[in-house]
């Protein structure tokens, strides 16, 4: 998994507010509203225990503190445990946490101890960013382009298919392409084809994955990918609305999905 850095998470509250404003502008709903529509849930200050995890590459500076800001921003009542790992888990439960949030290098989970529901960050992130793309208020058709069909992109593409959109997808990984074509029925797309899209969902860990040829004038790029797949130059040239944020939107999706 591509790991976040402390720099990605600097000023998370500002990044989140900016992204939430962008989501409202392009969809008519803020992130809370989209979560309510997706999962039928609204937070009521549920207690969220955030447990730092030292295994693998270890603690990411700003990670737990950012989750604390994010959970509170979306209407939860969160705290970070003093101890990490198993001791931190024990501390969170003993302190009354209803939901546990914790991540190692492979899995970032939310586990609701009161109802047993558990969520994984990758599908939850894919679903909400794809959903945001699908709600673009200036869309001119039901065609959506998905760039990257990995652990975030595939569930996002599946969500778009289930919502009845015409999903075009690309990924250099041939086995992922096959899976998306046969399991989801997406249309394979070559990024060199000169077809314009007004809705693009991007989920890769690479820069400059979105070429000029696919950008309609005034379109939406919704992307959790780090770094951003759209260059600043193309964003300006095509008047692209951009939704991107490193942690909060996906975490909101996870937390709401376990309520
Ligand atoms: P992954 O490695 O499972 O999938 C990425 C896919 O992108 C791969 O299948 C790869 O073949 C494909 N790809 C690479 N270059 C491409 C190109 N030029 N065109 C089309 N496809 C291309 O990674 P995963 O877990 O799906 O994560 C994707 C990105 O999302 C990463 O940058 C990750 O850090 C980020 N992420 C961000 C979150 C957030 O809240 N903002 C949450 C979770 C992940
Ligand atoms: C959840 C993010 C989104 C993108 N990449 C994922 C990542 O960086 N995962 C690793 C998270 C590790 C957290 C560390 C800590 O500080 O507790 N174990
Ligand atoms: Mg996010």
For residue 101, report the distance from its CA to the centre of ligand 2, in Å: 11
Q: Are 50 and 68 in contact (CB under 8 A)?
A: yes
- Please work out whether the CB of residue 59 comes within 6 Å of at least one atom of ligand 2: yes
**For residue 128, cis peptide bond before it (omega within 30 degrees of 0):** no
> Atom 8 of ligand 2 has which residue's CA nearest to it?
3
From first CA to last CA, the distance across the chain in angstroms is: 26
Q: Spell out the per-residue pLDDT of the chain, length 259, in tens.
A: 789 999 999 999 999 999 999 999 999 999 999 999 999 999 999 999 999 999 999 999 999 999 999 999 999 999 999 999 999 999 999 999 999 999 999 999 999 999 999 999 999 999 999 999 999 999 999 999 999 999 999 999 999 999 999 999 999 999 999 999 999 999 999 999 999 999 999 999 999 999 999 999 999 999 999 999 999 999 999 999 999 999 999 999 999 999 9
The answer to whether the pTM exceeds 0.85 is yes
Closest CA to 34 of 25, 48, 44, 24: 24
């Amino acid at each position: 998994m591509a790991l976040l850095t402390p720099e990605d998470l600097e000023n998370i509250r500002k990044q989140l507010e900016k992204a939430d404003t962008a989501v409202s502008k392009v969809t008519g709903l803020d992130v809370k509203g989209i979560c309510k529509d997706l999962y039928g849930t609204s937070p009521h200050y549920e207690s969220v225990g955030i447990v730092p995890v030292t295994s693998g590459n270890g603690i990411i500076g700003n990670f737990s503190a950012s989750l604390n800001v994010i959970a509170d921003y979306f209407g939860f009542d969160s705290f970070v445990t003093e101890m990490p790992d198993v001791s931190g888990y024990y501390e969170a439960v003993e302190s009354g946490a209803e939901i546990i949030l914790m991540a190692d290098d492979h899995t970032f989970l939310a586990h609701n101890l009161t109802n047993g529901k558990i969520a994984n960050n990758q599908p939850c992130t894919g679903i909400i960013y794809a959903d945001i793309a699908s709600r673009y208020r200036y869309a001119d058709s039901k065609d959506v382009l998905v760039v990257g069909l990995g652990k975030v992109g595939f569930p996002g593409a599946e969500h778009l298919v289930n919502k009845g959109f015409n999903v075009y997808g690309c990924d250099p990984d041939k086995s992922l392409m096959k899976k998306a074509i046969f399991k989801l029925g997406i249309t394979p797309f070559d990024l060199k084809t000169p077809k314009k899209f007004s809705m693009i969902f991007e989920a890769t860990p690479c820069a400059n994955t979105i070429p000029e040829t696919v950008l309609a004038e005034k379109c939406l790029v919704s992307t959790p990918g780090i770094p951003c797949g759209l260059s600043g130059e193309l964003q300006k040239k095509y008047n692209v609305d951009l939704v991107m944020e490193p942690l909060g939107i996906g975490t909101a999706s996870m937390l709401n999905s376990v309520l």
